Structure 1
Amino acid sequence: MSLPTSLPELLALVDFDQRSLFISAAAIAFNPTFWNIVARREYRTKFLTRAFNGNRQAACYALAATIFSLGLLRDFLYERALRDQPSHPALQGEYINYAAYALLAVGNLFVISSTWQLGITGTFLGDYFGILMDSIVTGFPFNVTSAPMYYGSTMSFLGTALLYGKPAGILLTLHVLVVYLVAIQFENPFTAGIYAKRDKEREQAKAAGVPYEEKKEL
């Protein structure tokens, strides 16, 4: 049997009677929606920083732990959804497995190396807490793609789908990609605005001949 070459063919191979499929899709969409809403509220109101008695570092780490935990839950629900779905013969075989492991390896490399480059606060929205990086990271994997964590995660989803031989996994991976592309459209301009504001304040301080200090007030 050949691989599905169109969306209708792919949809025909998915068991939509399984509730776990929709739970997984909801978890995939919820995570970036959650962290964008929470991070923007933090940026505007400092509600998390206030909850941690003004310690924005601790507040950021708390959000990081929450996002990481939600990611683990999302991955668990994804794997459970795949187990409930039918396999396809065309997605089972030696070369498919090689492709799956390659996607998982590259995907995890992107995620881990980008986390290493950014650190915990850089990875988990520290910008919204006022914890800004000194300069833009341009080394690997950011010299390959501007969103290595998102694309690396997408590759891992696809690799897992191929490893399980599940067409539903390919469909959910497309869902992941769309969700992340939408998230990028919201996050990148907002984050760029945060750094543009910081750079403007630096220039104003330099022009005034006074040392620049990042604002830390609540």
Structure 2
Amino acid sequence: MKPVTLNRVKVALANQSAPVSQPDAKSATIVPPSVAKKPSFLRFIDELDQYVTAAEKTQTAMAGVKQAISTQRIYLEFLVSETEREQKIRQMPAEERKIVEQRLADIISRTTTPTIIYTWEEIPAPFVADDRQIQKRIDAEYKNAMDEHHQYFDEIKQRCVKDRSFTQLLYPKLIKANFPKEKIYKIVPTNQLFMVLSDVILAKADTVN
């Protein structure tokens, strides 16, 4: 029999399992169900729902803005189209122009469809949302829509700058259609406005004579 040494006693004590202490009931932390981590598919559904809700509210807030922009765009595109048609006719040889103008006059005389009257619609400000993140989306979409709308006005203005005959034909149509004066100034360059007015006056005088 081997003598029991101090080292062997230490090894034996070290190999014994330490007693498991019971947690204090007062110090135990209970995680409420609402704070517990959701499964990934539930988080995806929540995020999708938030995205759809934000998109719906943004579209609702921008509905009036988009409608007014669309009305203005149709209004101006119609006048530009009429100007381009008249400009092409004026560039034809005299005999061809006479034939085309006569045929157009015949078509107009047989037309029973009532004349379409475009009513200018001012662009309203979008609705204000009570959610900051949704409001940011609305502001960003409003800015993009207005930037694109102003760009279209600028494109027509550049045509007026480069083509005086286009301006001469477009300006009277804008006036006749009761186009807002402040919008006309955004299209017809100021330095051409007086020249166009004088051309219109001279054209009327030639017609009378």
TM-score exceeds 0.5 = no
What TM-score, normalized to structure 2?
0.33
What TM-score, normalized to structure 1?
0.32
